[in-house]
Amino acid sequence: MNVKSLVKRNYKKQPEIDFPDYKSSIFRAPKNKKISIPSNLEIFGPIFNKNIISKLDNDLTLNFSKNKMSPLGHKIIVHGTVSDQFSNPIKGALIEIWQANAAGKYLHQDDKNSAPIDPNFSGCGRSLTSSDGSYEFLTIQPGPYPYPNRGIEWRPMHIHFSIFGESFGQRLITQMYFEGDPLINLCPMVNSIADEKAKKSLVGKLDTSRSNIQNILAYKFDIVLRGVKQTYFENRQEGL
Partner 1 sequence: MKNSNKILDETPFQTAGPFLHIGCMPNKIKINNIYKNDLGEVPFKNKNEIEMITVEGSVFDGNGIALDDVMLETWQCDENGQFFEDNGFARFIPNKLTKQFKLFTVKPGQVENLHGKNQCPHICLSISSRGLNMTLNTRIYFEGDDLINDPILSIIKNSKGNIDSLVAKKIKKNIYVFNVFLQGNKETVFFDI
Indicate the Cα dihedral angle 168, 99, 14, 170, nearest 10°: 10
Query: Cβ(70)–Cβ(61) under 8 Å?
Result: yes
CB under 8 A: which stretch of 67-75, 133-141, 209-217, 218-226 binds partner 1?
218-226
Q: Is 191 helix (H, G, I), strand (E, B) or coil?
A: helix
Within 15-74, the residues that bind partner 1 by CB under 8 A are 15-17, 19, 22, 24-32, 34-42, 44-49, 52, 54, 56-57, 63-64
Q: Of the candidates 14, 70, 185, 212, which one interacts with partner 1 according to CB under 8 A? A: 14
Whole-number Å distance between alpha carbons of 131 and 74? 30
108 labelled catalytic: no
Task: Give the count of alpha carbons within 13 A of 208, CB side only.
Answer: 0
Active site residue 160: yes
Q: Is 232 a catalytic residue?
A: no
Using CB under 8 A, which residues numbered 86 to 125 contact partner 1? 86-88, 94, 96-99, 106-111, 122-125
Interacting residues with partner 1 between 151 and 190 (CB under 8 A): 160, 162, 168-169, 171-175, 189-190
- One-letter amino acid at 182 equals P
Q: Looking at 22, 79, 126, 158, which residue is catalytic?
A: 158
C-alpha distance across the termini of the chain, in Å: 12
Would you please indicate which residues are annotated as catalytic (active-site) residues? 106, 145, 155, 158, 160
